[in-house]
């Protein structure tokens, strides 16, 4: 999966039992003092974000896409920007394996 999934997409992670709704793309995360990023953050679906709890993950952690979020002209333009700018991110890409 090379595309960046839109906000609102519903996914299930490898070995995951719950569905997550994507709420951010390329969010920053503080991993024991190291600031880096993941491809996505999400909240439990259908409950939503409770107590500001977010789950961070990358595209390779996604086992199944249940629903692809809304795409309009603004999202298409943002997708193009992601493709151009992704390699210019100045933070390390974090992994669930770390």
**Domain boundaries in the chain?**
10-88
CB atoms within 10 A of CB 64: 11
d(CA 50, CA 35): 24
The end-to-end CA distance of the chain, in Å, is 22
Average pLDDT over residues 35-45: 97
> With contact defined as beta carbons under 8 Å apart, do 20 and 12 qualify?
yes
Of 2-6, 18-22, 26-30, 76-80, where does mean pLDDT reach its minimum?
Answer: 2-6
Mean per-residue pLDDT of the chain:
94
Of 5-9, 11-15, 52-56, where does mean pLDDT reach its minimum?
Answer: 52-56
d(CA 95, CA 16): 16
pLDDT for 38 beyond 90 = yes
């Amino acid at each position: 999966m090379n595309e960046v999934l839109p906000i609102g997409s519903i996914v299930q992670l490898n070995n995951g039992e719950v569905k997550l709704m994507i709420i951010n793309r390329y969010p920053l995360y503080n991993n024991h003092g190291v600031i880096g990023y993941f491809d996505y953050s999400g909240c439990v679906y259908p409950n939503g974000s409770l107590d500001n709890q977010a789950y961070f993950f990358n595209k390779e952690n996604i086992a199944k896409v249940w629903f692809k979020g809304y795409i309009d002209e603004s999202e298409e333009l943002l997708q193009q920007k992601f493709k151009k700018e992704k390699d210019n991110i100045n933070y390390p890409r974090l992994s669930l394996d770390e």
